[in-house]
A and B are shown apart, each in its own frame.
Chain A
């Protein structure tokens, strides 16, 4: 029967992949900035759907949180605060089209080549139990890796030479902390740069 013959995993993969690519193209070909943002949401949300389909729920939720939520709210803030007329539309000149097609096409070819170099590309479809098996990965491995342990138990390649990094120990904690402190510095810096300039006492009451 047709219904039973469909490979649902592949079906949903194709559905989400088509949504991602289709709305990514819509972003490119639309000229209204807010519409672009809306199409970008759907495209990124469908990419999150792909992550969920692969059983990577933490990454999928992260995709929602950071890309779909954060970036787009930021984008919309930017558009709304800087727009001079009501519905801004961007006209693209022919030269820009050519340049963009050249760059984008080159990058696309590079990606396709890289994807096809993966040996599993042509391997047969996963069986049902294999798909179910790959769903048991949870975010605990990420947390463990950040605090102490590598998920694969391999010796850490990032360990400095000479230190006795036993197999399975990870050294991700320090980079993680450095990145977060760095982000904090960036945040404070941005706040400092964007602060209200000191007004003269004459018009201070207007503030």
Chain B
């Protein structure tokens, strides 16, 4: 991208004014490329929240046999959120006298930053990711857990008992639900043998039978457990005890107004999209559509492995990736819609019911399914999945870390490659000149 901007766009532009072209690794291209990507990802959260809030109103309206917003912006009231946003900007920014003003002011940003940082490692299509983190799923789970910190801070710093109760409930709930959520996330990791979200997505390429949710009955159950835990961990009804309007006024954001309040909601909708996107990648094939239109058997447009590795640009591959991105966003938005549907269908749980759901149902279910999936793999039982064979798993990479020539001279192993299960069983012949 940076090379493209430098060598094509800027140099063409400079050529009109007969100025010398830039070298392909000039800093300007990198800065522009970084800006374009950052703005794109920020808009997933910002514009996404605009859309989701409008959708929430429409969905709730239809579920309650109302019309929802109909006037702002003409048909369907699709500018309703913008009007809301204008209203929020004009509101006075109040800090209560009792509050710890520094923490009170910073808490919304903490929440938002944590929610947004998760998008760093979320791939939107094959190779379209902010930063390719090789343990991406672990990173996202760690970051999503941080969002609660902003809520707790808000609850504590507001200096109001409603807020404090809300914050405490949220803390208890999120800390508990991280346990079953971690277990559920582990299952696709075990099936794919990788924590890399891009690898997990690539392995599910092909027809929809390759999606991990269809791997075996246990994996199917685990998806629902994951979705329950994800709903709870992003603090959505029926698990929205932290705001509980009927009991705690508005919980942790009772004292907030204006733009700070809306930051909490951008964070909430951002997290909803994040965990739904994670569900799409882990269980529903990520950017792979139900039918591999762009795959090698039909149109054969998608990038090949070699092209991904070398980073070449081809229009067909770009179109395939764009369609993959739309697939992914479609799946994630479906997840968000289901969360809205659940919110307006189920009543709020009591705190003890929330804990019971987690500790007595989700954790045992997650544990049983974990053993079940591992057993299914171990016994080589039939599965609809025909996961794409991975590239040889390089278990050990040591370029640059050790002094290779010296070790080669002393006859030590320079690298150990594990290609498949056989290697783990110790049956792979050791290549000549290498010791394991």
Contacts and interface: CB of A to CB of B under 8 A. Distances in A.
A and B: interacting chains: yes
Interface of A: 1, 3-4, 32, 34-35, 38, 41, 57-58, 60-62, 64-65, 68-69, 72-73, 76-77, 80, 86-87, 130, 133-134, 136-141, 143-144, 147-149, 151-154, 166-169
Nearest to B155: A80
Contacts, number: 134
A141 B395 CA distance: 6
A130 B167 CA distance: 46
B157 interface: yes
B153 A166 contact: no
A152 B398 contact: yes
Interface residues of B, number: 52
A66 to B, nearest CB: 9
Closest CB pairs A-B (n = 7): A153-B413, A138-B134, A64-B142, A133-B400, A65-B142, A144-B395, A61-B139
Interface string B128-153: 00000111001101110110110011
Nearest to A136: B397
Contact of A68 (B106, B146, B156): B146
Contact of B156 (A3, A64, A80): A80
B416 interface: yes
B400 A134 contact: yes
A23 B221 CA distance: 44
B338 interface: no
B82 interface: no
A153 B156 contact: no
Nearest to B113: A45
Contact of A144 (B103, B407, B418): B418
A26 to B, nearest CB: 11
B436 interface: yes
Contacts of A166: 435-436
Contacts of A76: 149, 152, 156, 171
Interface in B392-436: 393-402, 407, 412-414, 416, 418, 424, 435-436
Given A167-B412, A167-B413, A168-B436, A57 B133 contact: yes
A66 B106 CA distance: 23
Interface in B262-318: none
B135 A61 contact: yes
B138 A137 contact: no
B261 to A, nearest CB: 20
Given A69-B146, A140-B396, A149-B436, 7 more contacts: A35-B102, A41-B110, A57-B139, A64-B143, A80-B164, A138-B134, A153-B414
